[in-house]
């Protein structure tokens, strides 16, 4: 099993009760042609007809080409999505964790190539010699066991991760791993002697100027006025803070702030140029291109290189963040409305792929 939604971290926003029509927010196409915004609106409308609820944002440089939130935040279609509705972005959290590890390297708290043994003594992990670089690149041999999902104490989570199956023969080659990122969250907490959530707030969100976001387990995840709800209700025990969610899957945000985070990263407000190159360097061939730290590097026809981070849970939460490297364009989509994993193309992919087609016309036409 994978994981789910949510929380609201910014104090505030009295979001009213239900109403008959879903809310929508569109920003004018400042710098982009009005026809581009209209065409993206048509993409979103088609998704809404199929049950989409969530947010879509397109930025070029510092200009918002498109921003809309629409649909409902719950399956009963009684609570409209608002600008402040947070969405669980699942594995995009790995991108966040990779950035935080690189901050720790810049601050000389961690080294990419020094084994993490000192931070996990006696855990069963200490004799494997894992380095942050291996864990970030999915090259440790660890897999995705979800062993830490039931543990809110780091020591217990370490034992569970140590006892989970792993494949030493895969060390040095790509093997997608939630467990590795769960382990990195524990290492970061022990290295700084602070909670993962506090570190993200101080070292990433504050420099990015983002105040409205949250984490799994922090507050009212089941309130659709605050958080987009999954296709099926999740038990309270599963929604609590756990080390199976922190570093690998527990970030909650909006489409616009997801895009703004990437923009702040690109502008050098979070990491040095050397760290950004480290973040984006290819680490091995995967089905969609090359693995990077916390993300992927691929190609879109006629648009060139695209850096992406993706999340998809079996209860319907899914999201995507894409940066078109040659054009300084960022696309972000967030939703909790599925479909369930294995039951069709997720809304994140349908919408982002269709937007890419419109970007070809918009960007190529301007050349």
Helix axes 154-163, 178-192, angle to 10 degrees: 150
Q: Which of 252-256, 269-273, 323-327, 341-345 has the lowest mean pLDDT?
A: 341-345
| Interval 269-302: pLDDT, tens | 999 999 999 999 999 899 999 999 999 999 998 9
Residue 273 CB contacts under 8 Å (≥ 6 apart), including other chains: none
Confidence (pTM): 0.91
Residue, of 336 and 365, whose pLDDT is higher: 336
Q: How far apart are CA 231 and CA 108, in angstroms?
A: 43
Beta strands in the chain (DSSP E): 54-60, 63-70, 87-88, 214-215, 251-253, 285-286, 289-291, 296-300, 304-312, 318-324, 329-335
What one-character DSSP code corresponds to residue 188? H
Report the pLDDT value the prediction gives residue 218, as an integer from 0 to 100. 81
Q: What are phi and psi of 56, to 5 degrees?
A: -135, 135
Q: In this predicted model, what pLDDT tens digit does every residue of 58-77 receive, in sequence order?
A: 999 999 999 999 999 999 99
Average confidence score pLDDT of the chain: 90
**Least confident window among 108-122, 176-190, 238-252, 351-365:** 351-365
Res 6 pLDDT > 90: no
- Given a cut of 90, whether residue 317 has pLDDT beyond it is yes
Say what the pLDDT of residue 366 is. Answer: 60
The DSSP symbol for 221 reads T
Mean pLDDT (whole number) for 132-144 = 97
Instruction: Give all domains of the chain, ordered by start, each with its CATH number.
Output: 34-90+211-366 (3.40.710.10), 95-192 (no CATH)
Q: State the pLDDT confidence band at 367, using cuts at 50, 70 and 90.
A: low
Percent of the chain at pLDDT exceeding 90: 82
The pLDDT value recorded for residue 342 is: 81
- Does the pLDDT at position 94 exceed 60? yes
Token reading at 352: 């982002």
Burial (CB < 10 A; 0-12, 13-18, 19+), residue 262, is buried
pLDDT category at 23 given cuts 50, 70, 90 is very low
Token digits of residue 65? 């080409």
pLDDT at position 10 is 33
Q: Would you place residue 219 in the very low, low, confident or very high pLDDT band (cuts 50, 70, 90)? A: low
Tell me: cis bond preceding 111? Omega within 30 of 0 counts.
Answer: no
Q: What is the pLDDT of residues 151-193, one digit of tens each?
A: 999 999 999 999 999 999 999 999 999 999 999 999 999 999 9
* pLDDT tens-digit map of 242-268: 999 999 999 999 999 999 999 999 999
H helix count then E strand count, the chain: 12, 11
Strand order in the sheet with 251-253: 87-88, 251-253, 214-215
Region 323-331 average pLDDT: 96
């Amino acid at each position: 099993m994978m994981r789910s939604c949510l929380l609201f971290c910014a104090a505030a926003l009295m979001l009213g009760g239900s109403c008959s029509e879903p809310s929508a927010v569109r920003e004018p196409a400042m710098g982009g042609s009005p026809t581009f915004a209209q065409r993206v609106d048509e993409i979103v409308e088609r998704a809404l007809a199929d049950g989409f609820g969530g947010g879509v944002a397109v930025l070029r440089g510092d200009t918002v080409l498109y921003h809309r939130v629409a649909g409902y935040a719950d399956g009963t279609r009684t609570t409209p999505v608002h600008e402040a509705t947070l969405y669980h972005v699942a594995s995009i959290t790995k991108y966040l964790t990779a950035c935080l590890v690189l901050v720790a390297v810049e601050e000389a708290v961690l080294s990419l190539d020094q084994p993490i043994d000192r931070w996990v003594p006696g855990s069963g992990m200490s004799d494997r010699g894992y380095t942050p670089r291996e864990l970030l690149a999915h090259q440790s041999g660890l897999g995705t066991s979800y062993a830490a999902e039931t543990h809110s104490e780091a020591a217990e989570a370490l034992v569970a991760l140590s006892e989970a199956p792993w494949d030493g023969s895969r060390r040095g080659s790509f093997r997608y791993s939630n467990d590795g990122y769960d382990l990195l969250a524990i290492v970061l907490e022990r290295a700084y002697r602070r909670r993962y959530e506090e570190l993200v707030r101080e070292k990433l969100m504050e420099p990015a100027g983002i105040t409205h976001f949250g984490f799994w387990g922090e507050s009212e995840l089941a309130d659709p006025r605050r958080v987009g709800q999954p296709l099926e209700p999740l038990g309270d025990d599963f929604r609590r803070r756990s080390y199976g969610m922190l570093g690998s899957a527990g970030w909650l945000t909006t489409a616009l702030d997801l895009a703004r985070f990437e923009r702040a990263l690109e502008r050098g407000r979070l990491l040095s140029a050397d760290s950004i190159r480290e973040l984006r360097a290819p680490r091995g061939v995967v089905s969609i291109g090359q693995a990077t730290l916390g993300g992927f590097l691929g190609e879109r026809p006629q648009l060139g290189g695209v850096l992406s981070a993706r999340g998809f849970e079996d209860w319907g939460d899914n999201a995507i963040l894409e940066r078109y490297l040659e054009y300084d364009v960022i696309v972000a989509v967030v939703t909790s409305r599925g479909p369930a994993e294995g039951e069709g193309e997720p809304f994140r992919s349908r919408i982002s792929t269709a937007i890419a087609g419109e970007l070809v016309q918009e960007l190529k036409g301007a050349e």
